[in-house]
């Protein structure tokens, strides 16, 4: 068990299971886009760790960039999404893979997908390491999903609770 601020978390997904899922994601993407050089666009802050690990096991050339927006406070989603910062490069003709740490309601991913859809991207795909099927409220198809989890708040491996927990190499779940 660990304590972050006022809350207690229990071990949920091991470092090894995460590594396996990340490797599988990388392979799935590579098999799917065959020969294209992907531009991975990670959504900060949470996705920094999965993007880093995914690139290291990606079986081929790849590029990386990051975007940032804020939509989440504490343990419940606010349901509103704000402004996007960080994309300056020309995405025309590129194969872009948007990478999220976790997709919950899908608000963030849908917002990002809409913005990127307005550009002349050759192929736009979406990937997330963690996915909460019970919480997802969108029609947008997620192309690559790592691990499906129940609708409970998690921390670790890039994910935080009010700033803390991102550095944990494994994932913890909020204790009941």
| Closest residue by Cα to residue 173 from 150, 146, 152 | 152
We find the least distance from the C-beta atom of residue 143 to ligand 5GP, in angstroms, to be: 15
Q: Pick from 29, 51, 54, 100: which binds ligand 5GP (CB under 6 A)? A: 100
Considering all CA atoms of the chain, what is the largest pairwise distance in Å, rounded to the nearest integer?
Answer: 48
160 is catalytic: no
Q: Which does 104 bind (CB under 5 to 8 A by kind): Mg ion, ligand 5GP, none?
A: ligand 5GP
CB of 29 to ligand 5GP, least distance (A): 19
Q: CA 18 to CA 103: how far, in whole Å? A: 16
Site string for ligand 5GP, 60-89 (x = CB under 6 A): -----------xx----x------------
Residue 114 C-alpha from the chain's centroid? 17
Shortest Å, Cβ 37 to ligand 5GP:
25
Given the residues 6, 101, 104, 162, the one annotated as active site: 104
Q: Does 108 bind ligand 5GP (CB under 6 A)?
A: yes
Where in 34-73 is the site for Mg ion (CB under 5 A)? 43, 46
Laid out side by side, the sheet with 7-13 consists of 2-4, 7-13, 171-174, 154-155
Q: Which of 56, 150, 39, 58 is nearest to 102 (CA)?
A: 150
């Amino acid at each position: 068990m660990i304590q972050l601020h006022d809350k207690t978390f229990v071990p949920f997904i091991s470092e090894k299971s995460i590594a396996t899922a990340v490797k599988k994601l990388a392979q799935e993407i590579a098999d799917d886009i065959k020969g294209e050089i992907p531009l991975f666009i990670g959504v900060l802050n949470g996705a920094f760790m999965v993007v880093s690990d995914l690139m290291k096991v990606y079986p081929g050339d790849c590029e990386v960039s990051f975007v940032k927006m804020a939509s989440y406070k504490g343990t419940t989603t606010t349901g509103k999404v704000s402004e996007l910062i960080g994309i300056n490069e020309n995405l025309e003709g590129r194969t872009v893979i948007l990478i999220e740490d976790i997709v919950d309601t899908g608000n963030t991913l849908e917002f990002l997908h809409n913005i990127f859809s307005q550009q002349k991207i050759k192929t736009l795909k979406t990937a997330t390491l963690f996915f909460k099927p019970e919480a997802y409220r969108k029609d947008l198809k997620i192309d690559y999903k790592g691990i499906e989890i129940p609708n409970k708040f998690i921390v670790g491996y890039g994910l935080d609770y009010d700033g803390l927990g991102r550095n944990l190499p494994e994932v913890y779940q909020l204790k009941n």
